[in-house]
Amino acid sequence: MTTHGPANRPRVGVIGLGIMGSAMANNLVKAGFEVFGYDPVPAARQGLKKAGGRACKNVHELTQKAQHLVLSLPSEAALDQVCAELLATGHKGLIAADTSTLPEACKLRHKKALARCGITLLDCPLSGTGAQALSRDLAVYASGNAKAIKAMQGVFAGFARVRYDVGDFGNGMRMKLVANLLVAIHNVSSAEAILMGARAGLDPATIVKVVSDGAGGSRMLQVRGPMMVNRSWQEATMKVSTWQKDMQLIQDLLQATDTPAPLFSATLPIYNAAMAMGHGMDDTAAVFSVLERWTQWAPKI
């Protein structure tokens, strides 16, 4: 193991420095790790430098610096590319915790290919928004090789509030989709509740404060309620366009398991409408804008 500093902590490599990846890398730096990062976007690499990390020019250079890797990738194509580059390094002993929300079959295919070259891939998706990632308020759903998860426990603690070991490889993604099904519903229900209260004459900020502290509260009301009240959904912590990918993965698992989900299904047109209304690059809190505009279009009786 390559170590650094008096705490004898491992060097960490973060591949993918977007909203989530950059927040994790920054928190690892704050926790005292020596962090190396790679992202094809120059501005993302520059952001890591400003945070105190070290930017690498490619995946090969990064694996020469660190054996404990965190992947935070936006698509299957990105995972395909990164895993191909990991294979090309021929660097045995690497442990790569993939925190991305991507199809289980894609992850499993790469796990098998990397294992043949002595590289361990873990399926470790995250529960939490980009804003929560900034404050280290994330939950890691770790699945796969138990020994490798144990080796990564200090890294997880550097960027997450808690880690749950959920068993065999792939269970992490399944747990993530269970959580995201609830997120999809709670996000829209938060918008409905705030809008109803506001139209009834209540102060929206007071609604969020009071209801969040009672039986009707939810994490989404706490996290996204203020964004809805302040209309700050342009400051995206989860873009609507990215969320559509997660919604499709949930639909796929519902179909594969023959699970009825009427509440989740009812949210689909809300998120689709957000896309149609130009909110693709905005935070999913923009569903409030969708519902609000629907009231404006409703015929007056």
- Domain coordinates in residue numbering, the chain: 3-167, 174-297
* SS3 category, 97: strand
N-terminal to C-terminal alpha carbon distance within the chain: 71
Segment-wise mean pLDDT, segments of 10 residues, the chain, 301 residues: 46 96 97 96 96 96 96 96 94 96 97 97 95 94 98 97 98 98 98 96 97 95 96 95 96 98 98 98 97 78 42
Fold of 174-297: N-(1-d-carboxylethyl)-l-norvaline Dehydrogenase; domain 2 (1.10.1040)
| Average pLDDT taken over every residue of the chain | 94
Where are the strands (E) in the chain, listed by range?
3-4, 9-10, 12-15, 35-38, 54-55, 68-71, 95-98, 120-123, 126-127, 139-142, 162-165
pLDDT, tens digit, 9 for 90 and up, residues 237-249: 999 999 999 999 9
pLDDT, tens digit, 9 for 90 and up, residues 70-127: 999 999 999 999 999 999 998 899 999 999 999 999 999 999 999 999 999 999 999 9
Specify the pTM: 0.90
Tokens of 259: 């699970």
Helix axes 171-199, 262-276, angle to 10 degrees: 70
**Domain 3-167 in CATH 3.40.640.10:** no
